[in-house]
Chains A and B, each alone.
Chain A
Amino acid sequence: MNEYGNALSGGLLIGLSAAILMVANGRVAGISGIAGRLLQGVQASTGALFILGLMAGPLLFRLVFGAWPVVTVTSSWPLLVAGGLLVGFGSRMGSGCTSGHGVVGLARLSRRSIAAVATFMAAAIVTVLVMGLLG
């Protein structure tokens, strides 16, 4: 299945990215942490470079495969604003998101990250379930 193969290959590359940052610079590839520190002007040049590279990722994908990655956003504008606010606020309050706690924290067997991943997965699953019930 191409869908599964792409998911696995993409995942391996995301792990490689985290490994590069950890081994080369000794830092966690946590997007909310990098973005949050950039907003505070802390480690601004490295933060800006990382996010520049992150944004160049889809462009490289376009160069290699001749098509943009699929992005289907069906949420209404109020929902996008609410979701964005919660994601931004929650990721800073919880000291991490899917990358910092998920990719790096789980690999380091961090107790905090295991608790955070279990919590945000459960919260996200329940949210999708409730939205489905509400139609």
Chain B
Amino acid sequence: MNSGFFRLAATLLSGLVFGFGLSLSGMLDPARVRAFLDITGNWNPSLAFVLGGAVFVSALGVVLTRRLKHPLFDETFHLPDNQVIDRRLIVGAAIFGVGWGLVGLCPGPALASLSLGLPPTMLFVAAMVFGMLIHDRLVAHRPSRTGGGTEAGARLSQPH
């Protein structure tokens, strides 16, 4: 058994199912996403079913992993066990949320829709990549002032 090959095949399959699911769900459409976030206006609640359905099946996967000693194609699990809610988590999530609300695109749909070749989503992805690099190259090297245990050295072991 070549588990390295199966690991790569599972990665590709997971990505493909993710991209197809996003396409089917309506999450690729920033206008739909912004209508879902517009709870005080012309609210379209349909995308709540995307998160609901996804968390449900994902939770079945979690239950299954708890019955396994190790993943099918790897020797250990690489899941985060950090439980500390620090300022970096909250400020980062808030910054992400503002950007998500501004345009209606988050990283998964933005990357998946690259294959449609639309200039606006390509521009968004270029800016997103730049934003990631700014954080990881410049900011992540500074130790967290709150000292919450998510310092720069820990970021590579944070698989989220």
Contact = CB atoms under 8 A, between A and B. Distances in A.
A14 B25 CA distance: 9
Contacts of A23: 61, 64-65, 68, 71-72
A61 B103 contact: no
Contacts of B39: 125
A107 B62 contact: yes
B79 A80 contact: no
Contact of B98 (A9, A14, A98, A127): A127
A104 B111 CA distance: 19
B61 A120 contact: no
B1 interface: no
Nearest to A51: B111
B45 to A, nearest CB: 9
Contact of B18 (A3, A29, A126, A129): A29
B51 A87 contact: no
Contact of A115 (B85, B107, B114): B85
Contact of A83 (B68, B89, B103, B156): B103
Interface in B117-134: 118, 120-121, 123-134
Interface in A14-53: 14-33, 35-37, 39-40, 42, 45-46, 49-53
A90 B16 CA distance: 25
Given A13-B17, A53-B18, A92-B132, A24 B95 contact: no
Interface residues of B, number: 119
Contacts of A15: 53-61
Interface string B11-29: 1111111111111111111
A7 B47 contact: yes
Contacts of A116: 89-90, 92-93
A84 B15 contact: no
A95 B151 CA distance: 11
A28 B159 contact: yes
A115 B85 CA distance: 7
A49 B160 contact: no
A17 B71 contact: no
Interface of A: 1, 3-4, 6-33, 35-37, 39-40, 42, 45-46, 49-61, 68-75, 77, 79-108, 110-113, 115-117, 119-129, 131-132
Given A24-B73, A39-B136, 7 more contacts: A12-B54, A24-B71, A87-B96, A87-B124, A95-B158, A104-B160, A119-B90
Which 3 interchain pairs have the tightest Cβ spacing? A57-B19, A10-B25, A53-B15
